[in-house]
Structure 1
Amino acid sequence: MTVFVEAVAIGLAIAAPVGPIGLLCIERTLHHGPARGLATGLGAATADAVYASLGAAGMGVVIGWLTALAAPLALTGSALLLYLGIATLRRPQAAGAAQAKEGGSLLGAYSSALALTLSNPMTILSFIAVFAGLAGGHAPGNGEALLMVLGVFSGSAVWWLLLAYGGGRLLSRLGGRGRRWVDRLCGLLLIGFAGLIAWRVLPTIVAF
């Protein structure tokens, strides 16, 4: 159980820094309610669990394949972030709570966050290093690997639950003007993340 607790802490640490998924969770919680925000976070947590599974298994062939696809996947993620950022900036101010909760679906929120998080396959390398430390430098057994993966998912899911429902209560107190400023901030930051990812990846493609 020590391994599980440590993996939960790792999942929390991976999910907690404010990044594009965190911004999406905040934005969707603000306009569509905490359930939509939680679905977004669980999509990211599922992607973390997928990469954690590969990292725990130490699948060298899969790792090499994902590394080779890192640049195109990262550019795809950059394009998705750009689209989401522009859509957030262009979002009309909701006339009321009922209108704010319209549009999209829980499955759409989940799948978009899953795809966006999976567009960064280099995350698996971090999990390999972390799990090597948790396992004491040896390949983890099946039971130990399962505990690690479940721990990462649980820790990540707990963070998104707190952000969606705890943060949702705070966001619900904002007036129309406050909501619009949150939209602008989230939209600009999402576009900024898209530009940063593209700036990091394009030189590697040009060099190739």
Structure 2
Amino acid sequence: MAMITLLNSILIGAAIAAPIGPIGMLCIRSTLVGGWKKGLAAGLGVATADAIYAAVAGFGMHVISSQLIRFEDGFRMIGGLLILVLGLVGFRRKPPFADRDIPGQTRQLFTFGSTFLLTLANPMTVISFAALSAGLGIDSLPGSSEGASAFTTGIFLGSALWWILLCTAINQLRLRLLTPAALRAVNLISATLITGFGVWFLISVFFGP
């Protein structure tokens, strides 16, 4: 049963990661501007946050879930501000040479941390994972810890696998097809889109349902 849950969760993790929103755009931009390692760091930040939400849902941590939902607007405001700042910073970057003076590990750790925090900043994600865990037959009973562990692991593996494949494909495009001028254009477009997502998040706090 745990193996079936693991395999199903891998597919679900990939499906959750696949839609391109502000976080996905950040991961793509990180790969185009900083290369495969930086893009992968961004993707693994997302996968780690997804795994935490999956654990909250799979292990039935209802108190945590309710608190996250209670402070949804606060999380949206924090997430919107972070996305907005990252988008505005993107306008000042001059890829692919802008980060050369910063050690590679420092860049990757910052990228991992930023996408990790941004993914956590959307508490509504936990509702999706709660529904998924129920659909897979995972509940909060003590005997279900094996299934919940398989669910969490599978979500992480599926999400990570998606980002590995996407970053590899984007990096190949970057190396073979994109000129420095094209990279600068992509950087400006992605910065505009990311800034727009940040503004939309902030507007949704004050004018959303």
Question: Given the two structures, how large is their TM-score scaled by the length of structure 1?
Answer: 0.90
Equivalent in the alignment of 2:185: 181
> Aligned runs of 1:62-73 on 2, under 5 Å?
62-73=64-75
Cα RMSD between the aligned structures? Answer: 1.8
CA contact (8 A) 1:20 1:193 kept: yes
The one-character-per-residue Cα deviations of 1:146-191 (angstroms, maximum 9, x if unpaired) are 0000000000000111111221011223001210111111111101
Distance 1:100 1:111 in 2: 17
Deviates more, 1:56-65 or 1:141-150: 56-65
Aligned with residue 152 of structure 2, among 138, 149, 154: 149
> Aligned runs of 1:107-186 on 2, under 5 Å?
107-135=109-137, 138-139=139-140, 141-173=144-176, 174-186=178-190
CA contact (8 A) 2:96 2:183 kept: no
- 1:94 positional shift: 3.9
The runs of at least 4 aligned residues of structure 1 exceeding 6 Å deviation read none
Distance 2:191 2:64 in 1: 34
Aligned with residue 196 of structure 1, among 174, 197, 200: 200
The AA in structure 2 aligned to 1:142 is S
Distance 1:56 1:62 in 2: 12
The runs of 5 or more residues in structure 2 that have no matched partner are: none
The one-character-per-residue Cα deviations of 1:82-103 (angstroms, maximum 9, x if unpaired) are 11111112212445xxx65553
Matched, 1:56 2:58: yes
What number of residue pairs does the alignment pair up?
201
- 1:196 positional shift: 1.6
The one-character-per-residue Cα deviations of 1:13-45 (angstroms, maximum 9, x if unpaired) are 111111122211121112221111101110110
CA contact (8 A) 2:10 2:154 kept: yes
Distance 2:67 2:207 in 1: 20
CA contact (8 A) 1:33 1:101 kept: no
Identity of aligned residues (%): 38
Distance 2:146 2:192 in 1: 44
- 1:144 positional shift: 0.4
Distance 1:39 1:24 in 2: 11
SS of the aligned residue for 1:108 comes to helix
SS of the aligned residue for 1:42 comes to helix
The runs of 5 or more residues in structure 1 that have no matched partner are: none
CA contact (8 A) 1:29 1:164 kept: yes
Question: Given the two structures, how large is their TM-score scaled by the length of structure 2?
Answer: 0.90
